[in-house]
Amino acid sequence: MASALEYTALIFLLFMFSGTSWAKIQRPAKRLAPALIVFGDSTVDPGNNNNISTVLKANFLPYGRDFTGHRPTGRFSNGRLTTDFLAEGLGIKETVPAYLDPGLTPEDLLTGVSFASAGTGYDNRTAKAFSVIPIWKEVEYFKEYGQKLGKISGAENATRILNEAIVIVSMGSNDFLVNYYVNPYTRIQYNVAQFQDHLLQIGSNFLQEIYNYGARRILITGIPPLGCLPIERTVRNIYKQEQGCLEDLNQHAISYNIKIQKMIDFLRPKLPGIKIFYADIFSPLLKMVQNPAKYGFENTRAACCGTGLIEFSYICNRRNPLTCSDASKYIFWDAFHPTEKAYEIVAEDILKTSIRQVL
């Protein structure tokens, strides 16, 4: 039976997001969770890659040009990420810092951090492609993080924070885009369905590990409509000459997302006390692409940076004269990643749906 606090939280969220199709996320008067903890890839990496030896970074302009202070942080966006907006919508804080940020404070730790690394995935081969943080290392950081919480606030309070924190897991796209579609050895070893099952087995083990270290309220995202990403439409259309999104890639994402939900349903009864649910990012992004005017977008085919067709990371830099002046009119910031506005719309959708299930 839901507690009075849970009912209050749900009523607040319903009130906060009723009405418009895209309302600016506002911070509630009362914090709805003690912390937001994040695992994943570039969609939720606020700058961990700044502190490792990899070419996959976004710590230079124009990345971050619409962030507070107009400064690059390592986020693959012109501003904030979905997880930043989720933290704000839960009343926790405005941004989720990178765990490897050397300036991390005790308060940062108490209210949640991100272990995410741009370029990573469930399969270790995915992380190796760009020498980024593999999923098993993110788990090690989480274990270390729990120990730090214990030293800051005491073991009992640290356990409470870990148990009550909202945990976001967002990865999987790179396993297809960087690994499966590019690496011929992976395709020899697996067909698409087999590769999906391979990722899900790793994901299942990962979820059980973070459960063992205290995670209890978990949202695991699916993957976005891969066939709508500017980079895929550019590269694949050289051969296929398709005008819209690439349906085969989108179908791969759909079938994978269905399997994620089945995996979650399988795991839930095996892990006592867990609240684990699926967070849909495929549908809100596809809706933006299919009906951009509803959200105030003007460009769905190309990204803001450069030509908008192939640029990302170091190819998207301040010396590129073609970068757009108003990113809010674009769904995509670079050829792989959404704009801050698109990230906020996804966050709004999650706050109206999935978040309610784990509060």
Of 101, 175, 337, 349, catalytic: 337
Of 41, 42, 114, 173, catalytic: 42
d(CA 337, CA 297): 15
Is 77 catalytic? The answer is no
d(CA 111, CA 118): 22
Of 45, 108, 334, 349, catalytic: 334
Is 337 catalytic? The answer is yes
Is 42 catalytic? The answer is yes
Catalytic residues: 42, 334, 337
